[in-house]
Structure 1
């Protein structure tokens, strides 16, 4: 997995750092006591499961498949989790935490301007999904087959992201720089634009569009849709109806009728 530029200054979303966070969160249940050994094996496990899921789907991937791909025995896998559902939650939790952490790290000068804040959120989300692309694709593609606990966690994560966008939209409406009839619905519409980058990244790269360009164009599109229009532009009058001279018939002339010869 290639490492991309980080979406926020000081943040580390490389594979090893993310697996280190998984270890810290679950160290009470992970049976491997040495952190450097545990994190190194988690890197192999997560990298293998993301690769296998991309090829065959998480539901079709067995622990034996994962054991072979990661080069870790079945007993070794059980030192980290008690089954596939636990592993799934480990990955989803890390994706959700990374999104919230990245989007909350907005600089104060940016926060003061709703339009700039919204563009920053879009750019940061796209940059994060570029850095963590296999993680985001995994969460998106496997959602339909999630067991109830994982489905609940995924929905909660999506709603939390939408709420962060909605709060910026609300601030923009109060400041008069956004015209939004339904803040929550508008925030919901922004989410698919963000997802399109990491789900269909290949399509955009064929057009020469990278992550930064994609984020900029999405921002331009969204901000243009939200910016209030002057009254003269929003209420364009219809052209007046053409009037006929008095005494002239309104029946259209039939061009196919032959003229009478004198």
Structure 2
């Protein structure tokens, strides 16, 4: 993906083989995600990350300069995986309101599968420098923008009109509802199945946009 190659370029390395850089950084990210989730960001050392990735500490520093570089790569990789999964769901040619319903369902399934990484992003983004934090937030906006685009198409297809602020808020609400399944799982998973949560929240989303009235006429 273009964004991934940009992330590779943003973090300097003396290794010239870009494919090797991508491969090694993927190994570093996979090791770091597991360690950050189990130990916490601050209690995880670069030496531990190197060991878990199968590197020497010297080899690790050929691909990153600091632990913050690793954290940025982790956040970027999580967003990339979510974006790829969401593209797969939204690209299905489902007509009308069913397209939104299917996208919400697919997105919630992604959030269920990626619960730990989603919680991790909420916990660690604050530790990034302003430069990297802005990149991570831009990634989040891009993922949310996919729902914004879909909502615009669905609303227009239903012959309705909504201003940009309404559509922006609705898109962010959907994004947060998916995240909520992850970071409030201590309650939701004890009281709802994912299917129930999806059904109830989809009903709320359609109702808030008055699309439930259109749905009844279809």
- The TM-score with structure 2 as length reference comes to 0.74
Alignment correspondent of 1:156 = 138
1:109 aligns with 2:93: yes
**112, 119, 123: which one aligns with 1:130:** 112
Q: Are 2:80 and 1:85 equivalent residues in the alignment?
A: no
- Say if 2:169 is the partner of 1:185: yes
How big is the shift at 1:145?
1.8
- Equivalent residue, structure 1, for 2:204: 221
2:203 and 2:212 in contact (8 A); partners too: no
Q: Which runs of 5+ in 2 are unaligned?
A: 214-218
Gaps of 5+ in 1: 1-21, 231-262
More helix by share: 2
- Tell me the equivalent position of 1:172: 154
Runs ≥4 residues deviating over 6 A: none
Q: 1:165 to 1:107 in 2, by over 3 A?
A: closer
Q: Distance in 1 between matches of 2:149 and 2:136?
A: 20
Instruction: Describe the SS at the equivalent of 1:80.
Output: coil
User: Residue 196 in 1 paired to residue 164 in 2?
Assistant: no
What is the match of residue 252 of structure 1? none
- Structure number with bigger Rg: 1
Q: Alignment partner of 2:193: what SS? A: coil
Contact residue 137 and residue 198 of structure 1 kept, 8 A: yes
**Aligned-partner Cα distance in 2 for 1:66–1:74:** 9
Q: Distance in 2 between matches of 1:87 and 1:220?
A: 39
How far apart, CA to CA, are the structure 1 residues paired with 2:151 and 2:25? 42
Query: How many residues in Structure 1 have an aligned counterpart in Structure 2?
Result: 207
Partner deviation per Cα, 1:16-46 (whole Å, 9 max, x = no partner): xxxxxx79x849948597x79x858944x43
Measured in 2, the distance between the counterparts of 1:160 and 1:26 equals: 18
